[in-house]
Amino acid sequence: MPHIPVIYSDLYLTEYDTVDCENSYRVAGVHPAIAEIAEFIEPEPATVDDLLLCHSPALIESVKGDQQVFRIASLAAGGAIKAATIALERPSFGLIRPPGHHAGVNFNGGFCFFNNIAIALRRLASSGLARKALIVDIDLHYGNGTFDIFKDDPNVVFVNISARSREDFFRQLDKALSQAKDFDIVACSAGFDTYIHDWGQLLLTSDFKAIGTRLASSHERVFSVLEGGYYLTDLGKNVRAYLDGFLEACS
């Protein structure tokens, strides 16, 4: 059976000061659901220099005010960097927390502290490994932090999928991915709160598999990191379907 690289650490199970719904059970429930197809890889924390690629010193210092949060948030950013680096060779997924797409240059919120996917892409760009990037955000909520970081960057295109029907969701996704070949890498902020039983009340489990297939078919270099997803009963099943889509497209 083929496997997909999944960045994960038991430290992501750490409980820290955040809202009740963004808890360790999110990753704890996904881990066994994908174990059969995952090649689990340990991350290293992002350095302060990595964080400064996207965030102001003041924002970083504010997170440092809670050392436990800073430790786990830095490890989440490091997990995204690892996923992005692996994606230069094969698709990967970051089973990380806390999420990141609501963290901008000078602000954070929405359960996010640092912008994981943005830091990863800036790290690749600063290393000369991938300069042009397409970011597709499939989370229920707008990735305002990602937009803030890249709004003046001509090398990065950010597309936030916001739809009221399944048909419109895939129409927007296909339109975004139609330009994928123009970029060096494709990144996905993979939120699963668009699920029919989650806050978004929109997508089916089979839809997440279709999303994974479309992403993996769009470009040779693709990585995803976990953002939202709070219906714990089915979160593992939905992430598994998403990764099955990647494996099907790459087989």
Which residues carry out catalysis? 102
Q: Which residue has the tokens 């083929």?
A: 2
User: Cβ distance 197 to 70 under 8 Å?
Assistant: no
The reply to whether omega before 99 is within 30° of 0 (cis) is no
3-state helix, strand, coil in the chain (%, to 5): 45, 15, 40
Query: How, if at all, do strands 156-160 and 4-7 pair?
Result: unpaired
DSSP assignment of 21-81: TS-THHHHHHHHHHTTTEEEE---PPPHHHHHTTS-HHHHHHHHTSHHHHHHHHHHHHHHH
User: Cβ distance 100 to 115 under 8 Å?
Assistant: yes
Going by C-beta distance under 8 Å and a sequence separation of 6 or more, which residues neighbour residue 138? 161, 173, 188, 189, 190, 191, 194, 211
